């Protein structure tokens, strides 16, 4: 299997990582995901890693890269479903994923994205109101 499928759920994209991420697959995912974000105008990306029992520094770095790439394309990334052992490993590897939002499961991740999106919209609205008042 060469591509990890990217599912559209409203204005969010959902990626479920089930297989070990070797170099080529990770690069393909980065390409596919950034392309899909710009094609679909997605506001957020959910990456489910509940199937991953082990992560190494490579996967940690890839997740960080994807989050940063998505952000410059105006989409927020949330990593969901991380197993406790994975969290322990990541911190022990010195990768505390400060750039990445995390949530316990897809539903909570989606709620997080929605609330952040509403906040941003309100801020834009307030600014527009302020400009109108000037």
At closest approach, how far in Å is the CB of 16 from its own copies?
A: 5
Q: Are 63 and 95 in contact (CB under 8 A)?
A: no
At closest approach, how far in Å is the CB of 107 from its own copies?
A: 6
> What sign has the CA pseudo-torsion 69, 72, 73, 77?
positive
Residues within the interface to its own copies (CB under 8 A) = 1, 3-5, 7-10, 14, 16, 18-20, 48, 50-51, 53, 81, 105-107, 110
Name the residue nearer to its own copies (CB basis): 8 or 129.
8
Name the residue nearer to its own copies (CB basis): 48 or 60.
48
Name the residue nearer to its own copies (CB basis): 18 or 123.
18
Nearest Cα residue to 65 out of 102, 86, 34, 44: 34
At closest approach, how far in Å is the CB of 15 from its own copies?
A: 9
């Amino acid at each position: 299997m060469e591509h990890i499928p990217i599912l559209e759920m409203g204005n969010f994209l959902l990626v479920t990582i089930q297989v070990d991420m070797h170099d080529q697959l990770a690069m393909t995912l980065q390409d596919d995901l950034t392309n899909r974000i710009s094609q679909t105008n997605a506001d957020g990306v959910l990456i489910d890693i509940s199937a991953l029992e082990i992560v190494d520094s490579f996967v940690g770095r890839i997740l960080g890269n994807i989050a940063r790439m998505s952000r410059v394309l105006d989409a927020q990334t949330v990593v969901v479903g991380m197993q406790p052992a994975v969290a322990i490993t990541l911190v022990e590897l010195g990768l505390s994923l400060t750039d990445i939002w995390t949530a316990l499961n897809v539903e909570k991740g989606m709620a997080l994205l929605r609330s952040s999106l509403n906040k941003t919209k309100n801020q834009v609205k307030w600014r527009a109101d302020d400009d109108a008042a000037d």
